[in-house]
Structure 1
Amino acid sequence: MTTNVSLNVWLITIVVIGGLLAFDFFFHVRKAHEPTLREAAIWSGIYVGLAIVFGIGLWVVGGHGMGVDYFQGYILEKALSVDNLFVFVVIMSSFAVPRADQQKVLLFGIVFALFARAGFIFLGMAIIDNFTWAFYVFGLILIITAGRLLAPEKEDDDEANNFVIKLAKRFLRTTDHYDGDKLFTVENGKRVLTPMLLVMIAIGGTDILFALDSIPAIYGVTDNVYIVFTATAFSLMGLRQLFFLIDGLLDRLIYLKYGLAIILGFIGVKLILEAMHTNQFSWINGGEPINVYTFDPYTSLGVIVGVLAITVIASLVSPKGKMLSAVKTLHRHAHAYNNVEYHGEAADREHHYEKMEAAETALMKFDEKKISELMDETGTTWEVEQARRAHKESIESND
């Protein structure tokens, strides 16, 4: 199996990935618009196809081992990237980002994630090369992350007001009003930051946190830095189009976090077993390798694909998943309506109220008692009541 990759191959790979991102910006994102379902489906398919073609090429040129490792890493990183989208949805909802401008936010998130993960990839490689205990640490990080995914979710009072945003608002001139998709605007004769830039700051901070989990995970699959980089890069490509394609399904994937927890836990255990198998610590078994079971790449690939398939299918057919999806959609539009300070135009805010009413109507086909319980658990009841009260006051003030 070839593990060394020439500098020319690295340069060509980076140029191709950079070219794809530039193409995405100039031909799709530069002009603000909301992609149609057909457009999102076509381009999602194209990017997934490119990733598969690259993987097959790597398999042919580098051998079966490199091919299997790449597809393991790609599938794992793709699943973790979809998990990123859940957070992106919450952040954009909190800032009430106009639908037509969400593409630019998503593309920024993808580019920033690529840079952040590239930095962590090479840092991780340096750690692995110089410290024999790195795989023990990576394994523990993944097991802890898996446990955190299984812990009950905590509802934040305001996702838009995280620590980084509070600092930006405190020390920089900001406005609460959008000016199209501009990052800066002029208000009262002064140059100020728009909410669009604040959204990007929030997403950038989130990307760094996700990279801390993502990179140890893929190093549990392979320590070939070229495979780690390309699998990560291709998993992020097309994520913008995927967002608009599965936007309505994101909330349905209620068991995805459990699947990711199982996978990350599995890879964490796999890393620790491999570290024991090649043990060099004098205080563990006298510095001698420990004869323990290790998972081969084909078994690992089967576990990753199998767990993801089971959790996604279970989520889509689950009655609770359908109800929770409808409730979260209602919560998101009510929350966006209530964040009045981030609306550039009254029409944008009214759009969310109309969507909220449509989401309420959609709930009528479910069991009323169960829906009521879910709405109370998620804080949706309070958000909707606030939105109704605010909408009534808005109508009265205009009369």
Structure 2
Amino acid sequence: METQSVGSPALWAGFIVFVLVMLALDLGVFHRKDHAVKFKEALGWSGVWISLALVFNLGIWWKFGATPAVKFLTGYLIEKSLSIDNIFVFVVIFSAMKIPQLYQHRVLFWGILSALVLRAGMIFAGVAMINRFHWLIYVFGAFLIITGVRLFMHRNEEEDPGESRMLAWARKVIPSTEQLHGPRFFTRETGRWLATPLFMTLVLVELTDVLFALDSIPAIFAVTTDPFLVFTSNIFAILGLRSLFFVLAGAVEKFSYLKVGLSAVLVFVGAKMTLVDVVHVPPAVSLGVIALLLGASIVASLRKARALERSAGPKPPAPPLDSEASRQPSRS
């Protein structure tokens, strides 16, 4: 485990300024008006965020060498893959809460902005605890193994967020209305302020992200405890989560084996943590194993989706516009 971070105060300050500038451009320039994010736009933004992460990784390689760069890339890959599991839940949340696509970007933006702050606190607390109490690495490892096994056992189960305990608790604590009021998070009714379904959806997104962070952050600790590498890889993955949501939202059902791959990744990194003082796994080997597990699950999922499409048969062709039926006058 590292005893010294590669991140100097100048690097920390520069990275935080970069994040704030990108968020300001995102909300204030590119998404100033609420609109339904189309697939092509989301794909372009996903490419931008992934490219920025890879350029940053090259910068780490140039300044600090191959080992920190491989650790950053491995942490980024872990967080990126686990964030796809977030997308499965976000799709269900938006559907259950009946949030129009027009306002989904707004919810995700503020949810991710809050997640940046929450995760920063969790990362620094986790690093401090591991550096002071080394035995916690075994606790985190066992926790990840158990989480991976549970994810595999319950991979086909879905919970309705509209009837979840989290939403029931939030509605009990926060006075709210079930009437949507455009892009507003709060509205005034009968002389008092009430949270709209948009804000309650934001609460669900936040609580869900905290739960997922309990898995993803310890998973990165299996790769590195350098707070700068953990923080930057986490933040880059989160910043790209919003655009990735709109890329994959319509195709989540095609990734039927993804949770199998994610559960295998969690078990692998958990075992790596519990055996950290017995077996040394080089960072490049960890990266290769994680990439192989995720790649195999994605390829298997896409092959299954294509097989199901073939078994369903071709769709019947639409009648030509100049067919005899279309020329006959309507009797209605």
Q: CA deviation at 1:191?
A: 2.3
Q: CA deviation at 1:59?
A: 0.7
Aligned to 1:206: 208
Aligned to 2:89: 87
Distance 1:364 1:180, change over 3 A: farther
Matched, 1:259 2:261: yes
Aligned to 2:141, the other structure's residue is in SS state helix
Aligned to 1:299: 285
Q: CA deviation at 1:187?
A: 2.4
CA distances 1:329-372 after superposition (whole Å, capped 9, x unpaired): xxxxxxxxxxxxxxxxxxxxxxxxxxxxxxxxxx9749xxxxxx
Which AA in structure 1 matches 2:294? L
Which of residues 239, 242, 259 in structure 2 aligns to 1:240? 242
Which AA in structure 1 matches 2:146? I
Aligned to 2:69, the other structure's residue is in SS state helix
- Which segments of 5 or more consecutive residues in structure 2 lack a partner in the other structure? 315-332
Which AA in structure 2 matches 1:317? R
Aligned runs of 1:324-363 on 2, under 5 Å?
none
Which of residues 15, 19, 22 in structure 2 aligns to 1:20? 22
Alignment TM-score, normalising by the size of structure 2: 0.88
Which AA in structure 1 matches 2:291? V
Aligned to 1:63: 65
RMSD of aligned Cα (Å): 2.1
Distance 1:321 1:259, change over 3 A: farther
Aligned to 1:312: 298
CA distances 1:10-30 after superposition (whole Å, capped 9, x unpaired): 111111112212221112344
CA distances 1:22-52 after superposition (whole Å, capped 9, x unpaired): 2211123441101222211211111110000
Aligned 8 A contact 2:141 2:271 in 1 = yes
Distance, in Å, in 1 between the alignment partners of 2:87 and 2:177 is 26
Aligned to 2:107: 105
Aligned 8 A contact 1:30 1:104 in 2 = no
Which of residues 172, 175, 180 in structure 1 aligns to 2:174? 172
Aligned to 1:195: 197
Distance, in Å, in 1 between the alignment partners of 2:272 and 2:312 is 47
Aligned 8 A contact 1:316 1:322 in 2 = no
Alignment TM-score, normalising by the size of structure 1: 0.74
Which AA in structure 1 matches 2:290? I
Q: How many corresponding residue pairs?
A: 311
Aligned to 1:247, the other structure's residue is in SS state helix
Aligned to 1:47, the other structure's residue is in SS state helix
Distance, in Å, in 2 between the alignment partners of 1:322 and 1:109 is 35
User: Identity of aligned pairs, percent?
Assistant: 39
Which AA in structure 2 matches 1:237? L
Which AA in structure 1 matches 2:190? N
Distance, in Å, in 2 between the alignment partners of 1:321 and 1:176 is 41
CA distances 1:257-280 after superposition (whole Å, capped 9, x unpaired): 111111111111111111x33xxx
Higher relative contact order (CA 8 A, sep 6+): 2
Aligned to 1:333: none
Distance, in Å, in 2 between the alignment partners of 1:321 and 1:107 is 36
Aligned to 2:324: none
- Which segments of 5 or more consecutive residues in structure 1 lack a partner in the other structure? 278-292, 324-362, 367-399
Q: CA deviation at 1:322?
A: 4.9
Aligned 8 A contact 2:148 2:266 in 1 = yes
CA distances 1:279-302 after superposition (whole Å, capped 9, x unpaired): xxxxxxxxxxxxxx3211111110
Aligned 8 A contact 1:253 1:321 in 2 = no
Which AA in structure 2 matches 1:58? I
Matched, 1:229 2:231: yes
Q: CA deviation at 1:150?
A: 0.8
Distance, in Å, in 2 between the alignment partners of 1:25 and 1:5 is 28
Distance 1:319 1:238, change over 3 A: closer
Which AA in structure 1 matches 2:217? I
Which AA in structure 2 matches 1:43? W
Distance 1:174 1:121, change over 3 A: same
Aligned 8 A contact 1:165 1:198 in 2 = yes
Aligned to 2:250, the other structure's residue is in SS state coil
